[in-house]
Amino acid sequence: MASNEVHIWFDSLDVSRQILAERYAVLNGEERARARRYGHDKVRERFVAGRGWLRCLLASYLGCEPGDVEFGTGPHGKPFLVDDAGSGLSFNLAHSGGMAVCAIGWDRRVGVDIEEIRPDRATDELAKRFFAAGEWQALAALPARERVVAFFRCWSRKEAFIKAIGEGLSFPLEAFEVSLGPGEPPALLTIRGDTEAARHWSLHELPAPAGYVSALAVDGPAPVVLQPSTN
Ligand SMILES: CC(C)(COP(=O)(O)OP(=O)(O)OC[C@H]1O[C@@H](n2cnc3c(N)ncnc32)[C@H](O)[C@@H]1OP(=O)(O)O)[C@@H](O)C(=O)NCCC(=O)NCCS
């Protein structure tokens, strides 16, 4: 495994009863208790499908049993591997609707996001509230037919970045700016007005299934992004 690679995996969270039972079987007590707290069946099943899938995926890299994968949690909730063997493996998971994406890297921070493209959610009000001024202006300058996808492109890139640094929404969304225009290379443009700091990161648009957009944020030199299932 080359350390300049980042591996990307997509999976459906709507799985058969049998697969769901297999995924549930590898969860620990805490994860099962969390699953029980979800009142809505679909939400519970998708959580079980996603967490079980994550355990199976990580176990295949670590050469262990899925049930033996041990997670820790960062100060803002980012799960990480308790890595006694020193594999250096890092990961991040995201889900939206019935799809999940997982990024796996080595000795670097990774963040992913996936968003179902829902035109009713791509409102000017949300863009003004969550996007940096430059992003909002770039979005408003686009022809109306390109705005919905650009909105979710921007959203997924921003979320991938706050997930890579592990801070989630405790990092102010207006404090950094990403590219969003069609045909524009994915990039982190500034962090608190600092373009040099932004250059330490690369953003990548991922080949999401139809109806979704997905983004990856990675620190350090731009990685080779691979989808092992399809390569
Ligand atoms: C971390 C955060 C960004 C998660 O966002 P989300 O859209 O709810 O969920 P995602 O599907 O992208 O990611 C969830 C997964 O990320 C991981 N995660 C949790 N906290 C995390 C953190 N602080 N950093 C990175 N990853 C985190 C977990 O694996 C989680 O999976 P689980 O719920 O099955 O345990 C959260 O801070 C949040 O509440 N976001 C709200 C979305 C928003 O308003 N975004 C604005 C973008 S413009």
Which of ligand 1's atoms lies nearest the C-alpha of 169?
37
Phi, psi of 190 (to 5 degrees): -150, 150
For a mutational test of ligand 1's pocket, the pick from 93, 151, 154, i.e. the residue with the most ligand atoms closer than 8 A to its C-beta, is 93
User: Cα–Cα distance between 142 and 150 in angstroms, integer?
Assistant: 9
Which of ligand 1's atoms lies nearest the C-alpha of 168?
37
**Six token digits for residue 116:** 């179902």
Mean pLDDT of 86-104: 95
Residue 56 pLDDT: 97
Which of ligand 1's atoms lies nearest the C-alpha of 93?
29
Distance 143 CA to ligand 1 centre (A): 30
Distance 172 CA to ligand 1 centre (A): 14
Distance 185 CA to ligand 1 centre (A): 24
Query: In this structure, are strands 188-191 and 89-96 parallel, antiparallel, or unpaired?
Result: unpaired
Res. 103: pLDDT tops 90: yes
Q: Whose CA is nearest to atom 29 of ligand 1?
A: 93
Res. 51: pLDDT tops 70: yes
Query: Is residue 137 packed enough to be buried (19+ CB in 10 Å), middle (13-18) or exposed (0-12)?
Result: exposed
Residue 1 pLDDT: 57
For a mutational test of ligand 1's pocket, the pick from 158, 163, 169, 203, i.e. the residue with the most ligand atoms closer than 8 A to its C-beta, is 163
State pLDDT tens for residues 110-145. Answer: 999 999 999 999 999 999 999 999 999 999 999 999
Average confidence score pLDDT of the chain: 94
For a mutational test of ligand 1's pocket, the pick from 11, 27, 159, 167, i.e. the residue with the most ligand atoms closer than 8 A to its C-beta, is 159
State pLDDT tens for residues 153-189. Answer: 999 999 999 999 999 889 999 999 999 999 899 999 9
User: Cα–Cα distance between 50 and 98 in angstroms, integer?
Assistant: 10
Distance 77 CA to ligand 1 centre (A): 8
Question: CB–CB of 194/200 below 8 Å?
Answer: no
